[in-house]
Copies of this chain bind each other. A is one copy, B any other.
Amino acid sequence: MAGKKFTEKHRITYYEGDQTGKATIPMLMNIMILASEDQSEALNVGSDVVDPTGLGWVVTQYVINVKRLPSIDEVVEVGTEAVNHNDYFCQRDFWISDENGEEIVRVTSIFVLMNRTTRKMSKLLPEVIGPYESEPVKRIVRLPKVASTDSEPIFDQKYAVRYFDIDANHHVNNARYFEWMLNTVDDQWLTEEFPVMINIRYHREVQPEQMVQSVVRSIESDDDSKRTLHQVLVNDEVYCEAEIEWQPRLV
């Protein structure tokens, strides 16, 4: 048993790619969220239905696994499914497949419904969750914790939240957190390596006009893997953290 699947085609445009000729992680997150918004519209539980309840969907964690980043001009299939849910949490999966039907990106995420005024979590409303046919379960998947480390920061950068970071929901677009985090890694690294795994956890929402600090640390690992820990802070409080595992780009 599982929820209704929704898929749509998407062509990666040049402005969704970077100097390696591949799609960027922030843009891949954008196109996957677009698929979930399009599913919600198709099921008649889009923002025009959810907004009047005073609630809104908020993601708390993504675990992203990347086999291969799609290339600029490649046409991919983007899919999503609300897999299951308990009273408060919903597991939503996303995937991207290439023209041969091979899955190249897989994301598992946790969504909650939040009161848009008090910013407190709400129980999932049957009329909002029902149409996805997500399976009701006692316990939803427990995603791995983001690793921790005591090592000294490698790099540290301040960013002012800009007008163009804010989306139509008046929030900082989720994808911007990825830009702040990835921008702390030097350009050569970003052109030679790619994130094969990202485990990102959102604790608090960055607000318009705030100043964020993006910090990166290296994580020592038992195996040969190359890992970094990223934190986005506001006034020294961690608003978002992510663990990234890197691998050399093949092409």
Contacts and interface: CB of A to CB of B under 8 A. Distances in A.
Nearest to A157: B160
Pick from A21, A72, A162, A209 the residue with the most CB of B within 10 Å: A162
Count of identical protomers in the assembly = 2
A13 B21 CA distance: 21
Contact of A167 (B17, B166, B170, B179): B17
A30 interface: yes
A54 interface: no
A30 to B, nearest CB: 4
A155 interface: no
Given A187-B208, A187-B209, A208-B187, A164 B24 contact: yes
Interface residues of A, number: 34
Contact of A166 (B18, B33, B162, B209): B18
A60 interface: no
A88 interface: no
Contacts of A183: 162-164
Contacts of A129: none
Contacts of A170: 19
A27 to B, nearest CB: 8
Nearest to A183: B162
13 contacts: A13-B30, A14-B34, A15-B27, A15-B30, A15-B173, A18-B167, A19-B167, A21-B168, A163-B183, A163-B190, A164-B179, A164-B182, A187-B209
Interface of A: 13-15, 17-21, 24, 26-27, 30-31, 33-34, 37, 72, 162-164, 166-170, 173, 175, 179, 182-183, 187, 190, 208-209
* Shortest beta-carbon contacts, A-B, top 4: A15-B30, A19-B166, A162-B183, A21-B168
